[in-house]
Amino acid sequence: MSQVLRNACLLAAALGLSASARAATALAHASTAYADAKGAPLRYPEGVACDEAGRVVVADSANGRLVSFTFANGALLPGGEVKVAQLGYPVRLQLDGAGRVLALDQRARRIVRVTAAGAFDGFVELKGVPAARGLFPTAFRIDRAGNLYLLDAASSRVVVADAAGTFVRQLELPRGAVVVDLAVDGRGTVYALDGPAAALYSAPKGAAAFKPLGPSMREYASFPGYVVATERGLFVVDKNGDGLLELGPDGSFKGRQLSIGWTDGLVYYPGQVCITSRGEAFIADRNNHRVQAFTAVK
């Protein structure tokens, strides 16, 4: 049994969980990378994006750059850096259907497009968005059709725009919630993650408002900071608690994995996670200055 699996089982036992309630998707550590192909080290990487072909892009946040990797035969193979003047401090990444990287710059609060070849390809410009109390993006997602979902902290809403950046609709965030991230699944359901309350909300496609999804995660999470929707359910990064939670589509708790540490397979203040349809998971291990790859145990 790997160290990751052992930690998951020990945690489940400590929480008094039955075998059926333990992590439904067991992850095994596959590879760790600390630097690009030239040996230049990562510094506080907060974001990561991936695709089904093994492409992995890391937001090397404190270095103000993107770093490319290829995941092949269970190993993260480092590539080159991408550094554009318009991107100062990348923190959240997404890949679009054209292979471009969309990166949220924490300093400028703008989303920058970078081509697959590494060239600046403009800013995401939204058209027709109601003014409200301003626009202050803190997270975003792209769905399969290329629609953009933007978490707007200034006006407590999720703004939805089409691939051309034209406003489609908006969803007000739940009153009193401190939403730190959002996700969207293949059916068009939008999820909002309240970090301090360790709570999830959902709004099915066409819904006018968010509703609570499942019970609070407070029993299992310290301060969740990132959520991703997959075909099998939801995965939530417990940023302050150094772990990864798996939830069912209804928000029910299915298991928790990983824990704090510095050796391979452990994390320290993790940021973004990207998960493929094969169950490969890539985690921006921020305070360990690295990116880690995990594979689903069959």
Q: Is the pLDDT of residue 3 over 60?
A: no
- The pLDDT tens digits of the residues spanning 46-71 come to 999 999 999 999 999 999 999 999 99
Question: Rounded to an integer, what distance in angstroms lies between the CA atom of residue 83 and that of residue 118?
Answer: 8
pLDDT in the model for residue 13: 37
From first CA to last CA, the distance across the chain in angstroms is 13
What own/partner pairs with CB < 8 Å and gap ≥ 24 does 221-224 have? 221/245, 221/256, 222/198, 223/195, 223/196, 223/198, 224/180, 224/193, 224/195, 224/198
For the chain, what is the mean pLDDT? 92
- The pLDDT tens digits of the residues spanning 94-143 come to 999 999 999 999 999 999 999 999 999 999 999 999 999 999 999 999 99
- The pLDDT tens digits of the residues spanning 143-165 come to 999 999 999 999 999 999 999 99
Nearest to 199 by CA among 217, 179, 225: 217
Q: Is the pLDDT of residue 21 over 70?
A: no
What band does 85 get if pLDDT is binned at 50, 70 and 90?
very high
Which domains does the chain show, CATH number per domain?
Answer: 1-31+173-298 (2.120.10.30), 34-124 (2.40.10.500)
pLDDT in the model for residue 298: 62
pLDDT in the model for residue 232: 87
Q: Is the pLDDT of residue 9 over 50?
A: no
What band does 297 get if pLDDT is binned at 50, 70 and 90?
confident
pLDDT in the model for residue 12: 39
The type of residue at 15 is L
- Exposed/middle/buried for 134, CB within 10 Å: 0-12, 13-18, 19+? exposed
pLDDT in the model for residue 8: 41
Question: Rounded to an integer, what distance in angstroms lies between the CA atom of residue 217 and that of residue 223?
Answer: 9
Joined together, the tokens standing for residue 231 give: 């075909």
pLDDT in the model for residue 89: 98
| H helix or E strand, kind and range, residue 112 | strand 110-114
pLDDT in the model for residue 16: 37
pTM equals 0.91
Q: Is the pLDDT of residue 10 over 70?
A: no
CA dihedral of residues 204, 209, 215, 217 (deg, nearest 10): 90
pLDDT in the model for residue 22: 46
Q: Is the pLDDT of residue 20 over 60?
A: no
- The pLDDT tens digits of the residues spanning 241-289 come to 999 999 999 999 999 999 999 999 999 999 999 999 999 999 999 999 9
